[in-house]
Structure 1
């Protein structure tokens, strides 16, 4: 009978250890999930900031073309022509 009690005691200890390990792993998982959320938020903010800087760069680039560089004038004319074509296309779709 004592060997059965020993087996049961050993089993209870192992179950207790497994439950403790599970608790530790749940806490670690929760912490990692919170960190992931924080990192995703940081990445999203940085992406928005990059987008804003790109828009500022394009605006500055356009302003420089208006001021006078020959290289930039050509690029600006191409962009304006592209915009005009897009507007014409939209007007054509609206008139249909």
Structure 2
């Protein structure tokens, strides 16, 4: 029967080692979750910045086309015609 206490001690040691490994893995898991969360925040911020820059780019393209840059003469004419149609429509609405 002297083997039973040794087996119990061995099991206790193994359980303790498993518990320590579990705690270590829990800590690593928490660190990884924190990194994922931080990365998601960065991605979200960068996506918002990209969208803002896209809007600014479109605004600049429209401004350039309205200023009549050589590259965008056709677009400028189309935009001016569109604005004239809108103004004509508004005048017609006011006349009624």
TM-score by length of 2: 0.74
Q: CA deviation at 1:73?
A: 3.9
Question: Number of residues paired by the alignment?
Answer: 81
2:29 is matched with which residue?
Answer: 29
- How big is each residue's C-alpha offset from its partner over 1:25-71, in whole Å with a ceiling of 9 and x where there is no partner? 11111111111111100110000001000100000011111111355
Equivalent residue for 1:18? 18
How large is the RMSD of aligned CA atoms in angstroms? 2.1
Residues 27-36 or 65-74, more deviating: 65-74
Q: Which secondary structure state, in structure 1, belongs to the residue aligned with residue 5 of structure 2?
A: helix
Runs of 4+ in 1 over 4 A off after TM superposition: none
| TM norm structure 1 | 0.74
Gaps spanning 5+ residues in structure 2: where? 86-96
1:7-86 superposed matches below 5 A:
7-69=7-69, 71-75=71-75, 77=78
Task: Return 5+ residue gaps in structure 1 as ranges.
Answer: 85-96
